[in-house]
Structure formats: structure tokens, C-alpha cells
Amino acid sequence: MCAIVGVFGAKKASTVAYYSLFAMQHRGQEATGISVANGENIAVYKKKGMVADVFSQATLDNLEGTCAVGHNRYSTAGSDSAGDSQPVFAKYKLGEISVVHNGNLINKQEVRQELIDKGAIFQTDMDTENIIHLIAKSQEDSLVDRIKDMLTKIEGAYCLAIQSRSKMFVIRDRFGIRPLSLGKFKDGGYMVASETCAFDLVGAKFVRDVKPGEMLTFEEGQEPQSEMVFENVDFHPCAFEYIYFARPDSDIDGKNVYAMRLEMGKALARETPVEIDLVLPVPDSGVAAAKGYADELGVPFEMGIVRNHYVGRTFIEPTQAIRDLKVKMKLSPIKHLIKGKRVAIIDDSLVRGTTSTQIVRMLLDAGAKEVHMRIAAPEIKYPCRYGIDTPTKAELISANYTVEEIREKIGATSLGFLSIEGLTQSLGNERNYSLVSFDGKYFAGGNEDTTGCAGGC
């Protein structure tokens, strides 16, 4: 779920990268970093924390150069130390290199052990460090050929921005699991970012999405050079980008996130209608789906739960104790709207059940007559291997209980999920979406993984 950005040919590339990462803060809050190349060397600055807290104007002024790559970290597993933040930088035979990565390498352990057996020394738990070792140890003569060699040895989900002292290379895996888009500045510079909302903030014009299996090479004085580095492209964009990850104003692979969530809400209403007085969203990612649900049923929609925006997203916090506390800190009901009403509360997904239980209890305490929980996504029954924090089946409530048992556990009057068919119809059946969390069909890397994600990006 990390955010990456790559900027090339911009006068103040570090500032562009900073604002781009700020726009994509929702994709990771644990650490952030930027590296800048000026043709002669690469400078890196990264720390734990959020973008606005980590970078000062003085720091950005010291990162001089026209090429920058940046990263917001959301860890799928492993350490949350500052050492596990990105970009990952190294000096090697051909010079200096810096790498940022969004995704999860499913063969991380096998590759790492092979590298260790050959004498490699690792300093982090990140799968991203595998990438830089593979490039450094390749016997190919040029960096571009070393990158291609590296790509033959890794499997899984990845969007990469790789920076040398004078060039930038951008790659999207052959499945296109994670999003990546190309933008252009009026003065001719270019950027890539995980979400198009970053373009809007820095004044870049969307050009197109990076194709699955494509590598873009950026070099001074030239237009970006495109090369398909995989013969067998099998496009599986992640449905969770539309359900939860992305900002509603972003366009992911040509589809607006808000519009897709609205359609999911309408489909949910058709599949799980209920007699109610009011529809409420769980802010903020449940808003569009709740609007669609209310519109389809012809029931009033109200923002009946107030969110404290100074508290981070509970899903990406690393410990359950912090998640529990932050639900109470983050959400507060408007009792005037809720008292005596039959309400439907719409959320984007249900993972562990902790948040849903507290929200139902909160609404009942506020005087709701009935609380009908509706989830604008299918039941999450399988761990994801491609970069979502659902480590084991034991933590997934839908993997262990029936819908009725979950309803009893969370205390709702009724509970309904969007079907897989309803989801795919909402998104458009013309694509073969990655639905592994819902159907357990692992198209990359073989069979179901019950141990969960092993990567650290």
C-alpha cells in the first residue's frame, strides 16, 4: 500500500516529491523519505513519521537536483524501524543507486537466502533490499540490463522507481497489481506517482497509466523511453485500491475511485436492502458507498458520525491495542440525528471486526433503535500476498465465522456484504481484478499463503 513518486527534469525535484508524498500520505504513515540526484551524486533523507513532520524547508533546500524519488511506508510485516524506511540507497560497481518500491515480493525469503549464501549482508527486513542487492551483484555491463536481470529473479507485486546519478527507471510488474501513473509538467519535466491525486497538487498533467510489464527510462534531453520487459502480461489490478486504499479523487487505471465506490454502494443496496430511516457512512472511505446505498434505496443520507482528522487511519496502525484506542479517539456520533432511528451504517470493508464492534456499540449508545451494518466489499477470507496488512487467517473474522456469527459478535441488528459478483460488476467486468482476499485465487506465486505477507515495504 506504500506510495512512491519519481520526478525527472524538474528544477526543484525534492519539493515536487514532497508535495506528492503529502498528497499520498494516506498510503502510509510509518516513515517517509526522498532521494535526489544531481548528475554527480545522490543525496538521501528519510525518517520515521509523516511527511509534514519529517521534512523542513531547509532539508528540502539541501536536496538539490532535478531527479527525485520518494516513498511513504506502510509495512505489511516485520520491523517498523527507521532503518526499514525508503528510499534504499547503495554505492556499487557502476556508481550510486536509490530504489523505492510499492508492493510485496512473494519470493523474498528464497531470494534473500540465496544472496546471503553468496556473501550478501542485509541491514533491513525489507524485501526492497533484495532488489538493490540483485542489481549490484548482476554481471551485466549496464544498469538497464542489470535491472532487467533483477526482474527475472523477483516475483509478486511491485511498482519501482530506480534512480542513478543521471537517469530514472520506472517499472510496473506484469500483473499491474499496484497502480502507477505518468504525468508531465508544462516545462517538460515528468513524474510518476502511485495515485493521480499527486498530479493535481503539483500541477502535473496526467498522461497515462504505466502499463503492466512496462519499464520507462528517463534521461536528460529525451522523451521517456518505453519498453515492455515482460512477454506475458496478465493484468490483475487490485480491487482493494477502489474499495479502500486510494483517495476518492484519484483515477486508478482509468476509473475514478469515487465513482466506483458509489456503484459499489448501489449494488450493495440492491443485494442487501433493509427498512431503515437513515444511512450513515463510516468516514471517510465509506462515504461514497453510503451515498450510493442511500440513493438506491431512496433513504436520507447523513454524515452522522464525526471524524477527528488529527488521528491516523486505524487499519494501518501496527498494533491492535493502538487500533482499539484510535477508534474511540477518531469517531463520534451526532446523537441528535441518530436517537430513535433505524440506521444503516456503511463501511468499506470488515477485516478483524474490532472497529465494527465499537461503531455498532457507539450508535446504540447514541440511541439508535436498530443498527444495520453493511459492508461495501465481499467477505475477506484469505490473506493477501501482494501488500495488504492481513497477515494470517486467524486475524480475518470472515475466515473463521459465518455472517450470522459475525453479526452476533459485533452486535448489529443485521449484517450484509457486497458479493464478489456485485463488486466486479461495479468495477466493470472487462478486467480480471485481483480478488485474492475474497476468493483465495493467487494468480502470482502459486497456492494460498496462510502465513501472510512477508515483505516490509
Catalytic site positions: 2
Q: How far is CA 89 from the centre of its chain?
A: 22
Alpha carbons 1 and 181: distance in angstroms, whole number: 15
Which helix or strand (DSSP H or E) is residue 342 part of?
Answer: strand 342-347
Cβ-proximal residues to 113 (8 Å cutoff; 6+ apart), any chain: none
Q: Radius of gyration (Cα) for the chain, nearest Å?
A: 22
Tell me the HSE value of 329 on the side-chain side, using a 13 A CA sphere: 12
d(CA 154, CA 239): 23
Phi, psi (5° rounding) for residue 390? -125, 80
CA distance 419 to 177: 21
Q: Reduced to 3 states, what is the DSSP secondary structure of residue 382?
A: coil
CA torsion 446→449→454→455, rounded to 10°?
Answer: 50
Closest CA to 83 of 95, 73, 70: 73
Query: Cβ contacts of residue 283 below 8 Å, gap of 6+?
Result: 303, 305, 306, 307, 331
Alpha carbon distance 415, 373 (integer Å): 5
